[in-house]
Amino acid sequence: MSLRLRVLVMASGLIFSNGTTARVAAAQPLDQATLAAIRDEGLSRSQAMDHVSWLSDVYGPRVTGTPAIEDARRWAMERLRAWRLTDVHEERFAFGKGWSLRRFHAHMIEPQVMPLIGYPRSWSSSTDGTVTAEVVRTDISTPADLETYRGALRGKIVLPQPVREVPLLEGDVVLRMSDAQLADAARTQVPPALAAPRPRRAGPSFAAQLQQFYVEEGVIAVLDRGSDAVTMGAGSGLPYKTQRTDGGTIFVGVGGPRNEEAGSLVPAVTLAVEHYNRMVRILDKGLPVQVELHVEAQFHPETVATDEMNAFNLLAEIPGADLADEVVMIGAHFDTTHAGTGATDNAAGVAAMMEAMRILQVVGARPRRTIQLALWGAEEQGLLGSREYVRRHFGDRTTMTLRPAHEKLSGYFNIDNGAGRLRGVWLQENYAVAPVFNEWIASMGDLGVTTLGPRRVSGTDHVSFDAIGLPAFQFIQDRLEYNSRTHHSNMDVVDRVQRDDVIQMAVVVATFAYNTAMRDERLPRKPLPRVEP
């Protein structure tokens, strides 16, 4: 066995680096002929990048509740049906108003003309056509500061943050996991102590008070330069960080509510930090700055033309044989944020999952269990689609009242960490499954799959399943530029997707799904979670 397998194998079991032991079950023969056919089809005749291009280049950002995601849904359903997958359907759920951008431009026009690189925040309201206004720098951090500016902001464009230093790019920007990082992934993470819950504040938060202040004072727009954070490692389960790339890459957030108050706040735009900084420095010299701005956004109703709710999960399956009532699920979130075209977050994951299903169909795989594809809606708003699916089909997390289908799910596999190749699996502290996965990855070292990470990771749709005691897993993945450049940014475009990596992703997923579907037993489970107080 390769030394690169990041677990130690003893006669009695698998020994993790902290001494945790997972019992080694008797090996079950794998269907090597079908696994070889999966590799041949997936590596030699992949369609994965074509899926990515259709989803991203053609349909662009697929924000939940918008015409774009509905168009993408129709395309995906047609393609899945063309591959003769069965039970291709959607399940609708409530979401709120959708939002899409129709037009945007911004220029500094005084003291010089400079086109401003920027992007409106999602759910931002619109300006009244093209507006020209004086720019002011504010410093409001407490409710008491509001009085300092009362009566002084009407008709102004506000810059609410100071200059942020733009560091040189040094260290990790593109991350392919090193041996040291893979070794760290194989170590068991000690769960941090739970912090005491914060007491709920009475009344609106200060952020909400500030937004309402802008409205009451007649502010034209608020221009920000994004977060102060320049490194991130969110959701990776690893300690390494990645330096974010400025220089025209804009990490854009949310600019308003999607409920009945949608469109009621002041227009909000995130600018490239370098352009924002220049305006602040000019203001600091006592010179006036003027900006010409146009934001045209559209809010979409909470129902689509057929009076159905405007959010959906998309499902399709390959039926099983003798264990057809049991299910293996693979999935990725179909929705995106708004600023780029959603290529690495998460067209790459969707494409890999769709391609895995295509591969299994083309090679004539006959799984014992049903293999189901799930493409989730509204992940970007808090895993809403997968949580709703779990609630409807498997049980209620708040009461741990379980449905019959809970017993029938063998496992769920998820992709949502960019477009890099898969390097292994996070076990989600399900140590009993380690011997099974270890057997499977033993033959995938040439694909770069070597590592079982014991720890629990969060931040994406597998959490909805894990929270109710179902075996659910996120793959360990090379992040490439996901953290540094593309995550929720205007640079999340097809050019950042690496073809060979997406091809590998699909082959690995198809292998895991097929092996799970062919086992005599379902995947081992952790104890059921306790009911939350």
How does pLDDT run across 17-36, given as a tens digit for each residue? 445 555 555 578 899 999 99
Strands 157-159, 221-224: pairing is: parallel
Look at residue 83 in the predicted model and tell me its pLDDT: 98
| CA 178 to chain centroid | 23
Name the E strands within 304-442.
311-318, 323-333, 369-376, 395-396, 401-402, 409-414, 422-426
What would the mean pLDDT of 380-385 be, rounded to a whole number?
Answer: 97
Look at residue 348 in the predicted model and tell me its pLDDT: 98
| Within a domain: 1 | no
Residues 289, 326: one domain? no
Read off the pLDDT of residues 79-95 as tens digits, 9 standing for 90 and up: 999 999 999 999 999 99
Residues 292, 339: one domain? no
pLDDT > 80? residue 99: yes
Residues 293, 341: one domain? no
What would the mean pLDDT of 471-490 be, rounded to a whole number?
Answer: 93
Please state, in angstroms and rounded to a whole number, the distance separating the CA atoms of residues 443 and 422: 14
Residues 41, 72: one domain? yes
Please state, in angstroms and rounded to a whole number, the distance separating the CA atoms of residues 130 and 331: 42
What would the mean pLDDT of 389-402 be, rounded to a whole number?
Answer: 97
| Within a domain: 176 | yes
Residues 79, 225: one domain? no
Please state, in angstroms and rounded to a whole number, the distance separating the CA atoms of residues 36 and 510: 11
Whether the link from the prior residue into 301 is cis, omega within 30° of 0, is: no
| Within a domain: 524 | no
Read off the pLDDT of residues 336-345 as tens digits, 9 standing for 90 and up: 999 999 999 9
pTM of structure: 0.92
Distances (CA, A) of 403 to 386, 413, 469, 533: 16, 20, 12, 21
| CA 456 to chain centroid | 17
Among 205-219, 302-316, 405-419, which stretch is predicted with the lowest mean pLDDT? 302-316
* Cβ contact 92:308 at 8 Å: yes
Look at residue 197 in the predicted model and tell me its pLDDT: 59
User: How many structural domains are present in the chain?
Assistant: 2
Per-residue pLDDT band for 242 (boundaries 50, 70, 90) equals confident
pLDDT > 80? residue 207: yes
* CB within 8 Å of 78: residues ≥ 6 apart: none
| Within a domain: 525 | no
List the CATH number of the domain containing 478.
Answer: 3.40.630.10
Nearest to 385 by CA among 330, 471, 314, 458: 314
Please state, in angstroms and rounded to a whole number, the distance separating the CA atoms of residues 238 and 455: 10
Whether the link from the prior residue into 454 is cis, omega within 30° of 0, is: no
Residues 47, 105: one domain? no
List the CATH number of the domain containing 154.
Answer: 3.50.30.30
Residues 231, 378: one domain? no
Among 184-193, 228-237, 314-323, 415-424, which stretch is predicted with the lowest mean pLDDT? 228-237
Per-residue pLDDT band for 174 (boundaries 50, 70, 90) equals confident
Comparison of pLDDT for 68 and 21, the residue scoring more: 68
Name the helix (H) or strand (E) containing 501. Answer: helix 499-518
Name the helix (H) or strand (E) containing 143. Answer: helix 143-149
Look at residue 11 in the predicted model and tell me its pLDDT: 33
Q: Domain limits at 490?
A: 32-96+305-518
Look at residue 199 in the predicted model and tell me its pLDDT: 65
Per-residue pLDDT band for 248 (boundaries 50, 70, 90) equals confident
Look at residue 245 in the predicted model and tell me its pLDDT: 81
What would the mean pLDDT of 106-119 be, rounded to a whole number?
Answer: 97
Nearest to 383 by CA among 315, 462, 488: 462
Nearest to 376 by CA among 503, 456, 464, 301: 464
pLDDT > 80? residue 247: no
Residues 290, 324: one domain? no
Question: Could you tell me the sign of the dihedral formed by the alpha carbons of 98, 252, 493, 424, in that order?
Answer: negative
Per-residue pLDDT band for 270 (boundaries 50, 70, 90) equals very high
Mean pLDDT for the chain? 91
Residue 417 DSSP code: S
What would the mean pLDDT of 139-147 be, rounded to a whole number?
Answer: 95
What would the mean pLDDT of 274-302 be, rounded to a whole number?
Answer: 97
Q: What is the dihedral of CA 257, 263, 266, 267, to 10 degrees?
A: 100
Please spell the DSSP secondary structure of 183-246, one letter per residue.
Answer: HHHTSPPPPPPPPPPPPPPSS--HHHHHHHHHHHHT--EEEE---S--EE-TTSSSS--EE---
Residues 250, 320: one domain? no
Residue 138 CB-density burial (10 A; 0-12 exposed, 13-18 middle, 19+ buried):
buried
* Cβ contact 495:340 at 8 Å: no
Residue 18 DSSP code: T
pLDDT > 90? residue 70: yes
Last residue in a domain, options 265, 300, 335: 300
Look at residue 64 in the predicted model and tell me its pLDDT: 97
Residues 69, 115: one domain? no
Name the helix (H) or strand (E) containing 282. Answer: helix 273-284
Please state, in angstroms and rounded to a whole number, the distance separating the CA atoms of residues 268 and 265: 8
First to last CA, the chain: 46
* Cβ contact 87:315 at 8 Å: yes
Last residue in a domain, options 249, 282, 300: 300
Last residue in a domain, options 300, 319, 344: 300
Look at residue 358 in the predicted model and tell me its pLDDT: 98
| Within a domain: 325 | yes
| Within a domain: 329 | yes
Read off the pLDDT of residues 486-532 as tens digits, 9 standing for 90 and up: 999 999 999 999 999 999 999 999 999 999 999 999 999 999 998 87
In 3-state terms, what secondary structure has residue 120? strand
* Cβ contact 345:337 at 8 Å: yes
Look at residue 2 in the predicted model and tell me its pLDDT: 38
Look at residue 227 in the predicted model and tell me its pLDDT: 80
What would the mean pLDDT of 166-171 be, rounded to a whole number?
Answer: 81
Per-residue pLDDT band for 3 (boundaries 50, 70, 90) equals very low
Residues 259, 134: one domain? yes
| Within a domain: 79 | yes
| Within a domain: 10 | no
Distances (CA, A) of 299 to 64, 93, 123, 125, 153: 12, 18, 8, 9, 27
Residues 347, 233: one domain? no
